[in-house]
């Protein structure tokens, strides 16, 4: 394993799925899943991003919004695929009455409608918890302290948004399934770091690599929270309702700016980039866990399906 400190941007990325990894490189993506019997299955497919279909959507500060939409679409699709290997893992004897009723009375088309409704409610719930609730707490703080400082109110609102996020991650990480997903998340980062360090992609090297990476979705969320603090210092609607509306309307703006910061952090390696990346890397301590060798094996399978790491190494490190 090379000891050099040089690091090169690879352009690959991915996410953890149920007992596996999705990796994406340009228009291709793969999903590797370890089935209940221990076998690793891998699929490869294509996904054209919205910014590639419509060039205007690839402009700076606009592309971040649609990149987020692409991530949600592809992420949901690959999660559904990985979950399909575990749907029959539970015997019918342990099946709940609700599950039995749905299987007997709900067809595939109706289930699609139900899942769409659930998704809408999930997004609405996330907006309330991570956007509206912190704004309400900030307004309450302003009323109780009778402060006229928009800076202080926005700061309290931002801190509460971060606190709620940390508590949420801490809560869900107590679930065994989520912990394993966080371990696969760590294996994804380790594979990318291994490649970008110029090391051979094998289990031994991957396990030695860092589980934090600058181009992580967790870092993106941290940028969103930090940038929103500064943005909302200058936006002070007269009513609480208008404050809620402004927070939701400005989500695309904050996301667009945050995405550009994330791209900057992912492509360059210097002291300034290290500085602005540090909060996101700290937060990844909550969303990534050290994987075991078997989880790393799955991640390597996903990488090798869409990325020629040997060619990358020879071009950038030899």
Contact 194, 182 (CB under 8 A): no
Does 279 reside within a domain? yes
- CA–CA distance, 226 with 204 (Å, rounded to integer): 36
Does 5 reside within a domain? no
| Residue 163 CB-half CA count within 13 A | 10
Residue 96, judged by CB atoms within 10 A of its CB (0-12, 13-18, 19+), counts as exposed
Please report the pLDDT score of residue 109 as a whole number. Answer: 56
Does 230 reside within a domain? yes
Please report the pLDDT score of residue 92 as a whole number. Answer: 46
Please report the pLDDT score of residue 123 as a whole number. Answer: 66
Does 231 reside within a domain? yes
| Domain count along the chain | 1
Which residues in 179-212 are b (16+ Cβ under 10 Å) and which e? Answer: ebbbbbbbbbbbbbbbbbbbbebebebbbebebb
Q: Which domain holds residue 180?
A: 110-316
Does 207 reside within a domain? yes
Contact 222, 262 (CB under 8 A): no
Please report the pLDDT score of residue 118 as a whole number. Answer: 64
Does 283 reside within a domain? yes
Does 72 reside within a domain? no
Does 15 reside within a domain? no
Residue with tokens 């904050």: 254
Per-residue pLDDT of the chain (318 residues; tens, 9 = 90+): 444 467 888 999 999 999 999 999 999 999 999 999 999 999 999 999 988 889 999 899 899 889 988 998 899 899 989 998 986 554 444 555 555 655 665 555 565 566 566 666 666 677 677 778 888 888 889 889 988 888 888 899 889 989 999 998 999 889 999 999 999 999 999 999 999 999 999 999 999 999 999 989 899 989 988 898 888 888 878 787 888 888 888 888 999 999 999 988 888 878 888 888 899 999 999 999 999 999 999 999 999 999 999 999 999 997
Q: What letter would DSSP give residue 84?
A: T
Which residues in 34-72 are b (16+ Cβ under 10 Å) and which e? Answer: beeeeebebeeeeeebebeeeeebeeeeebbbbbbebbe
């Amino acid at each position: 394993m090379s000891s050099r400190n040089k690091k090169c941007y690879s352009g690959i990325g991915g996410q953890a799925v149920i007992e596996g990894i999705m990796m994406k490189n340009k228009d291709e993506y793969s999903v590797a899943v370890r089935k209940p019997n221990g076998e690793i299955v891998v699929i490869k497919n294509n996904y054209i991003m919205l910014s590639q279909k419509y060039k205007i959507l690839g402009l700076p500060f606009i592309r971040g919004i649609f990149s987020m939409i692409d991530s949600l679409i592809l992420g949901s699709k690959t999660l559904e695929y990985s979950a399909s290997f575990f749907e029959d893992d539970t015997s019918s004897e342990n099946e709940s009455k609700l599950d039995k009723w749905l299987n007997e009375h709900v067809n595939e088309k109706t289930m699609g409608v139900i899942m769409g409704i659930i998704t809408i409610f999930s997004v609405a719930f996330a907006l309330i918890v991570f956007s509206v609730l912190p704004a309400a707490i900030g307004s309450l703080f302003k009323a109780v302290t009778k402060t006229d400082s928009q800076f202080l109110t926005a700061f309290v609102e931002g801190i509460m948004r971060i606190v709620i996020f940390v508590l949420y991650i801490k809560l869900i990480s107590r679930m065994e399934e989520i912990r394993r997903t966080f371990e696969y998340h760590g294996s994804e980062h380790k594979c990318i770091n291994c490649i970008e360090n110029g090391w051979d992609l094998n289990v031994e090297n991957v396990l030695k690599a860092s589980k934090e990476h600058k181009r992580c979705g967790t870092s993106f969320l941290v940028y969103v929270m930090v940038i929103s603090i500064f943005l909302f210092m200058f936006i002070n609607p007269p009513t609480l309702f208008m404050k809620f509306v402004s927070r939701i309307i400005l989500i695309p703006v904050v996301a667009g700016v945050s995405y550009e910061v994330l791209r900057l952090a992912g492509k360059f390696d210097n002291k300034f980039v290290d500085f602005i990346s540090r909060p996101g890397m700290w937060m990844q301590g909550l969303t990534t866990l050290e994987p075991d060798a078997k989880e790393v094996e799955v991640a390597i399978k996903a990488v090798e399906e869409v990325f020629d790491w040997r060619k990358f190494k020879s071009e950038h490190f030899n």
